[in-house]
Structure 1
Amino acid sequence: MSGAELSRRSLLGAGAALMATPALAKGADPQVGRFTGLRDDGVLAFKGIRYGRAKRFARAVAVPIDRTVKAQDFAPIAPQRGNPDLPQSEDCLFLNVWTPEANPKASRAVMVYFHGGAYSNGTVTDPLTHGQRLAAAGDVVVVSVNHRLNALGYAWLKPLGDRFADSGNLGQLDLILALEWVRDNIASFGGNPARVMVFGQSGGGAKIATLMAMPAAKGLFHTAATMSGQQVTASGPGNAWKRTQALMTALGLQPSDADGLLSAPVERIVEALTATDPVIGGAVYFGPVLDMTNLPRHPFWPDAASQSLHIPMILGNTREETRAFLDPRGAKLKGLGWDNIAAKIAPEIKIDLDVDWVVAQYRAQFPDWTPEQLFYAATTAGRSWPGQVIEADERAKAGAAATWVYQLDRASPIDPLRGAAHTDDIPYVFGTLDAPGSMSGTDAGARATRDVMMQAFAGLAKTGVPGRTDWSSYALPDRATLVVGNGVATVQNDPRRWERELWARAPYVQPGS
């Protein structure tokens, strides 16, 4: 099959089951064990299933279910500054399941999704990530997971005593507990616990990269895909402790007041997340910590973690990531011109190069570009893309299981100034083109792009390879990349070679580390 637009014939050739929606018998609400679900757009849905319970700043534990549970509504999400209109609670360890049929003999591949939000915000209750369409069209079981975030999931408190030994990575340990739930229970929902794929966007992808270096996650998933989310290095314990102290200062607590932190109202902790980060500026950052126990090494430095080299993996980014969070209509780009572009780029990049030199190089290479085009290309290539290049290169150097890399180039038809921005690949993978918040549109190009992306992800989950025969795996020096345009996907070798080589002249600094 060529790299041309994905046709109905190629979909069927890749496996007729991909786009088939299994028939469901009419009747009462579906029941799996003690869980009563509901019917959702042609599949069975079980929402708000508890997978664990935890005390504040302590490791979560599994909770046996000894009664019938109505699993028909999403549970509260993790406390955060985002999503203020949704119910929030520290008791947030819940997951959701969508399945074509709750038949233990079905043994379908399982796709477990972790949400983005930079470890601080986000939720899988976002309509963009509802799993009913992916479950039906991909013929897979879809699971989505909420877990502890920000300081409640990642504050480093070990200097306050051994009772906090697992702090710094509690949010990651929540995800591991959820994967253990999947291993032990998913067969009852028609899933195969021996064929589990994890996938996640932005912070969700970074969480997956981190899990690939955590011993407790070994064997819990068999394939992986990250979407605009990488984690090359974790936060060091020294910087993590500085951040915890900044939080405690914002709470009006002494640096050693562990009891005060344990008893503080959760609303005050969330408010204190506006404290200035003492390491990188901006709001205080909390993410995985190199604690030498739960996380004994950096995920992709100095190389790819050996425990996960056998796991086939998709790595992807969008062409203009930063258009999603550096608003073309916002204050940061107001008055952008050649006289101030270097000053505006400088605070947005994570590679320490002379920005005037960078601008001069771009202008010589792309003389027809506007200041806005250059700004978004440079901030994407110097901030949001390097982590993916490092991860893909390190896996290739280590001789890891096959890695496939994609680049989403399809610009949003909803907002002409958005381009192909951060988060834009989500509705294509989930098939939620018409969901609130989607920037994909629902035209023929959107549907064809959806088919490309869904086929690739579901194919990896089901067979260990993406559902495309023309997508070459990533290897050095070719760096084969599937470039996904407006329903057209072509494999290109090293498509942004010039930018990659320019930014490789200095080390990449993982935000937060």
Structure 2
Amino acid sequence: MSSKFSSRLKKTLAVAAAAAWLIIPAVLPNQQTMVYAAEAQAVSQNVLANTENGQVRGFAKGGVRYWRGIPYAKPPVGELRWRPPVKVDNWHGVLDATEYKSEAAQTGYLGVFATAGGSEDCLYLNVAVPEKQPGDPDKLPVFVWIHGGALVVGAGSDYDPSLLAKEGRAVVVTINYRLGAFGYFAHPALDAEGHAAVNYGVMDQIAALEWVQRNIENFGGDPDNVTISGESSGGQSSQILMASPKAKGLFKNIIAMSSPVMYANGHSISREQAEEKGIGLAKAAGLENATAEELRSLSTEEILALENNYLLDGIITRDGEYVPSSIAEAFKNGEVNGERLGIGNVQNEGSFFAALTESIAGKNMDEAAYRTNLETLEKQYAIPGFADKVMAEYPAEAYGSPAEAYAQVITDSWFAAPIYRIADSLDSKLKVYYYEFSDPQCPKYVATDFEQGTAHTYELPYLFPGFHGSSDIGTELTPKQQKVAKQMAKIWTGMSKVDEQGIWKRFDGDHARYLKLGQGKPQMVDMKEYKQRHHFAFWQNINMY
């Protein structure tokens, strides 16, 4: 390994395969949370708001009022672990909501993207409201952000809502939900208890949206004008909510950003298949024939130490209630919630995953490793000859390095091709709007030896100022990039008026165009070049969707 590569690794992605050792005590807040807490204490102005459970005290700063750490369900601990979320009891007096509460319990599974730690006591949301300005409607649009992280890591507190609130003139809500083995877990002993099972993280997201419907008017928001959005598995979650009968009527618009492989082979599994994973975790914990009581007696730390080998890892379980069918099947049948869908990707999504792969290997990817990684995908997709076909279409010598070739494969097969398929399949079911974000000069919080371009998650600082995961690399925007960020904020929060704005035109599969974002003024562009760049003709002939 080169010394240059080794030194960069110290600042970038942790080895995901061995991430369990990164666990820190669950009660310890992460560094970002402590910074926010200090910031809140420095603000003397108290801001009160009513909720159905009692008053909450927030604070005002820089033209935005904030409430942080509002409970939307009881802590899912003890007997409430692996059960549907339960409504919060009323409280007496005023609840302090000036500091973020704990993120969900998690390991360092995605390295630099999020911080290991957290707690099972995590079902909190945060609200940001811009100070009233002339011209604002009586009720502001509501923008609910569902964080990404493979449904395994992440936190609502990682996302600064100030830009979306101020420039978008919207009430912004960021949420936590159960993750990993706490949020997406099946076991016969639990599933036989008679309650909704397996997709507890989905249930949490729906509970948070139900809280929004019941309470957001008290914060100046319009419950009839809710946009849900997320990036990566947050975008995936948005699509799951689109297809869930339990989420009907909870939102009007969806913006699914960089939602990976929703149509790929094996992306949804049966409850029985999910239970096999859960049985494996229980056995690893020494519980051969586990009862529900024994499973709930395991400590947070014991579960986190084992979960990496038994995660569903973004694969969704068809539970028959919250997720009754595969997302692809639901979309094909027109079983969708909402009126408008904004969907798209960044230009070089796969660079993030190529970097993660190199981090796991501890060295730069060579051509042999490129083939090995493709053969791993071949087994996952059960497509004979997949690796040979892909290497012929994406020869390493045609790119700057094998890692860049692999990155392009991931970009096209996990994101561009399936995202286009989703847009095309839903065009007749609701209003669809397509985009691609690209800024070669975008801030990069992961260091690599290959050219990254605009990698997965690199658009996030344009919506959430300063987003940098858990890295120590700054992501400040230049003045030109800040202008792009303000434009994006207005588009993202204005989905209900997207046709009136006239910037983002509706997707038409017969004459497809997309909104090009990231460089200069947003503009609609014909998709011919996009399809060529992402090898659409090749992927149409690969049986993975």
1:247 is matched with which residue: 281, 296, 309?
Answer: 281
More helix by share: 2
**Residues 197-346 of structure 1: matches in 2 within 5 Å?**
197-230=227-260, 231-232=262-263, 233-275=267-309, 277=310, 285=313, 287-301=315-329, 303-304=331-332, 306-308=334-336, 310-327=338-355, 330=359, 332=361, 334=363, 336-337=365-366, 341-346=370-375
> In the alignment, residue 306 of structure 1 is paired with which amino acid?
G
Alignment RMSD = 3.0
Tell me, yes or no, if structure 1 residue 186 matches structure 2 residue 216. Answer: yes
Q: Decide whether aligned partners of structure 1 residues 439 and 56 sit closer, same or farther in structure 2, where only a CA change above 3 A counts.
A: same
1:43 is matched with which residue: 64, 77, 85?
Answer: 64
**Residues 408-423 of structure 1: matches in 2 within 5 Å?**
408-415=437-444, 417-423=451-457
> In the alignment, residue 32 of structure 1 is paired with which amino acid?
A
**Residues 34-433 of structure 1: matches in 2 within 5 Å?**
34-53=55-74, 54=76, 55-67=80-92, 68-82=94-108, 88-101=118-131, 106-126=138-158, 129-158=159-188, 160-163=190-193, 165-230=195-260, 231-232=262-263, 233-275=267-309, 277=310, 285=313, 287-301=315-329, 303-304=331-332, 306-308=334-336, 310-327=338-355, 330=359, 332=361, 334=363, 336-337=365-366, 341-347=370-376, 352=383, 354-363=386-395, 371-396=402-427, 399-415=428-444, 417-432=451-466
Query: CA separation in 1, counterparts of 2:468 and 2:364?
Result: 34
Query: CA separation in 2, counterparts of 1:383 and 1:333?
Result: 24
Q: Decide whether aligned partners of structure 1 residues 161 and 453 sit closer, same or farther in structure 2, where only a CA change above 3 A counts.
A: closer
Kindly indicate whether the alpha-carbon contact (under 8 Å) linking 1:113 and 1:145 is maintained by their aligned counterparts in 2. Answer: yes
- Indicate the SS of the match to 2:228: strand
Tell me, yes or no, if structure 1 residue 487 matches structure 2 residue 514. Answer: no
Kindly indicate whether the alpha-carbon contact (under 8 Å) linking 1:41 and 1:133 is maintained by their aligned counterparts in 2. Answer: no
- Indicate the SS of the match to 2:510: coil
Note the C-alpha offset of 1:383.
2.5
Q: Percent identity?
A: 25
- CA deviations 1:287-333 (Å, max 9, x no partner) are 53211122212222263453426520111211111211321864659
- CA deviations 1:137-175 (Å, max 9, x no partner) are 111000011011111111113565532531211111111
Query: CA separation in 1, counterparts of 2:502 and 2:487?
Result: 12
Kindly indicate whether the alpha-carbon contact (under 8 Å) linking 1:110 and 1:141 is maintained by their aligned counterparts in 2. Answer: yes
Tell me, yes or no, if structure 1 residue 447 matches structure 2 residue 464. Answer: no
The answer for unaligned runs of 5 or more in structure 2 is 1-42, 445-449
> In the alignment, residue 487 of structure 1 is paired with which amino acid?
G
Kindly indicate whether the alpha-carbon contact (under 8 Å) linking 1:440 and 1:446 is maintained by their aligned counterparts in 2. Answer: no
Kindly indicate whether the alpha-carbon contact (under 8 Å) linking 1:113 and 1:142 is maintained by their aligned counterparts in 2. Answer: yes
> In the alignment, residue 306 of structure 2 is paired with which amino acid?
A
> In the alignment, residue 342 of structure 2 is paired with which amino acid?
I
- CA deviations 1:329-350 (Å, max 9, x no partner) are 6465945455664334333576
2:49 is matched with which residue: 13, 32, 40?
Answer: 32
Look up the match of 2:16. none
> In the alignment, residue 334 of structure 2 is paired with which amino acid?
S
**Aligned residue pairs: how many?**
471
Query: CA separation in 1, counterparts of 2:433 and 2:115?
Result: 38
Q: Tell which deviates more after alignment, 500-509 or 437-446.
A: 437-446
TM-score by length of 1: 0.83
The answer for unaligned runs of 5 or more in structure 1 is 1-25, 278-282
Look up the match of 1:459. 494
- Indicate the SS of the match to 2:144: strand
> In the alignment, residue 58 of structure 1 is paired with which amino acid?
R
TM-score by length of 2: 0.79
Query: CA separation in 1, counterparts of 2:406 and 2:346?
Result: 15
Query: CA separation in 1, counterparts of 2:526 and 2:275?
Result: 43
Note the C-alpha offset of 1:355.
2.2
> In the alignment, residue 418 of structure 2 is paired with which amino acid?
G
- CA deviations 1:212-253 (Å, max 9, x no partner) are 121111000000101112544533223211111121122111
